[in-house]
Amino acid sequence: MHSDWNYTKIAIHHAGRSFACGPGALQLQEIQDMQMSRSPGALDDIGYHYALDCLGNVFEGRDIRFQGENVHNHNTGVIGIVLLENLTALNEGHDAVTSLRKLLGKMGIGRHPAIPDRQRGAIFKFTNVLCEFFHIHTLGGHREFPGQLGEGKICPGNIGLTLVSELRKSTGLRAP
């Protein structure tokens, strides 16, 4: 892992379409295990610096003294925060997962993701705290950073991207 401390950007992620609100520590451990065991491209540790669960609890991921691995080709100076929830709308994506979610939605099965009030409040407060400690000038959803691949093209979902826009408006930070 590479040292990093001159943070100027924050990247907001969501845990992905296979996650929903649940025990934060267990979800974070599952994500860490998945990222450290995938082949090819296993990471040395979880790629995110912080995670916020649906109850508004903040968890430390990768030590902030080390560069994250959460934004393809754009990790230097970027603090990675993952919201432990699925923040995609039912129709996002062009794959089997999206097709299944649409079908289940038509049958009245499934849920419509939303950002819980506690998680929303926590990300606003936490972003402000990070801005007090670092010279943050940019805040973006994962997919807003150039050249993102795979799930990165959807992350943090349309629901998550609306939150990112609200965060930028309240903090005065710019988009990537």
Task: Provide the residue type at 57 as one letter.
Answer: N
HSE-up of 101 (CA within 13 Å, CB side)? 17
Fold observed for domain 9-171: Lysozyme-like (3.40.80)
Asked if residues 87 and 157 have their Cβ atoms less than 8 Å apart, the reply is yes
CA separation, residue 153 to residues 43, 72, 99, 133, 146 (Å) = 20, 11, 17, 30, 10
Query: pTM for this structure?
Result: 0.88
Q: What are the pLDDT digits (tens) for 54-87? A: 999 999 999 999 999 999 999 999 999 999 988 9
Vertex 15: Cα angle to 152 and 128 (nearest 5): 90
pLDDT of 26 higher than 90 = no
Q: Token pair of 53, please?
A: 């669960």
Domain coordinates of the chain in residue numbers?
9-171
